[in-house]
Amino acid sequence: MPCNSDAAAAAGIPRPAARVPPHGRKRSKHPKTIRTMNYVELNIAASGEEAEILTALLADWPFESFSEEGGALRAYIPQEKLADCKSEVDALLDARGALRRTYLTIDDCNWNAAWESDFHPVDIDGRLLIRAPFHAPAADASAEVVIMPRMSFGTGHHATTYLMTEALLELDLRGRRGLDAGSGTGVLSIVAAKCGAEHVDAVDIDDWADANCRENIAANGVADRITPMLGDVRRIAGRHYGFILANINRNILLADRPAYAAALDAGGDLVMSGFLEPDVPAITACAEKLGLRPVATAVKEGWVTVHVRKE
């Protein structure tokens, strides 16, 4: 999930207390689950850059998805979780001047069916197709990844997943061992394995993401080369990797960067996303202090991927 941007900080907007909540990461376009549940839609009159900033700010709370359409930002959160953070969210929005907003309770429904009706395959530069099991297969099975996201983040629809996948396709991963930090659906681990990675550890703090990752790696025939690991960055203590993928958020990236640097082999690649353009200076400055040299940066819809390499 995305973090507060430097632009927001410069505007005097306080960042929520540092924490790593179960839902402290981005989510896909719609809430998705195999069961029914009540959600609340927060509808805010915002668009463009302001909508991106609000998305990054709100992602520090348990909002599970965001969409922008018709000059409105819609953020979805389980009804049972809203009570714990509503006062903080309202204070943040008041400080931003986002006074035109409404909360709408969405009746219990089957989110899986709603999601399937709106999910489309994602083509990554004509080189890789990310699709769901109910879509027609690609002509070349080696050039596709099959994902059933359930409640996890990572279908290729969000700009950060798209950017991370693009970056992976440019790396030579043959024979290298890697880490996918905040793996969600396991999509990046699967792409890495299909690009020749010897093995990938897929780490996520959410038990449902761990289960979903296991389902997806089995469906893609790469379960022998990917190890799902339930937990946080402490799970990688003592391990070493030739590449690390971290599509999380600014707060967690900055907090966990020393652990990534320690686990990365000399000459290894760290590819990060989950933050906005104004966050890049803080991300790269922290990397350089840890001996990680900037290699490349890519931008899509205001979101950024930064690729650094250990000296």
Q: Give the full edge-to-edge strand order of the sheet including 177-181.
A: 226-230, 199-204, 177-181, 241-247, 264-276, 303-310, 292-300
Token pair of 3 as six digits = 């973090």
pTM: 0.69
Is residue 137 pLDDT above 60, yes or no? yes
What size, in residues, is the chain? 311
Q: Which of 200, 197, 194 is nearest to 180 (CA)?
A: 200
Give the Cα separation of 29 and 64 in Å (integer).
9
* pLDDT of 214 higher than 60: yes
In this prediction, what percent of the chain has a pLDDT beyond 70? 80
3-state secondary structure of 80: helix
Query: Is the CB of residue 212 less than 8 Å from the CB of residue 150?
Result: yes
Structure tokens at 97: 């001047």
Maximum mean pLDDT: which of 76-80, 81-85, 159-163, 247-251: 81-85
Please check whether the two domains, 6-114 and 119-310, share a CATH topology. Answer: no
> Domain locations in the chain?
6-114, 119-310
d(CA 81, CA 13): 23
CATH architecture under which domain 6-114 falls: 2-Layer Sandwich (3.30)
Range with top average pLDDT, 67-71, 131-135, 245-249, 307-311? 307-311
CATH topology of domain 119-310: Rossmann fold (3.40.50)
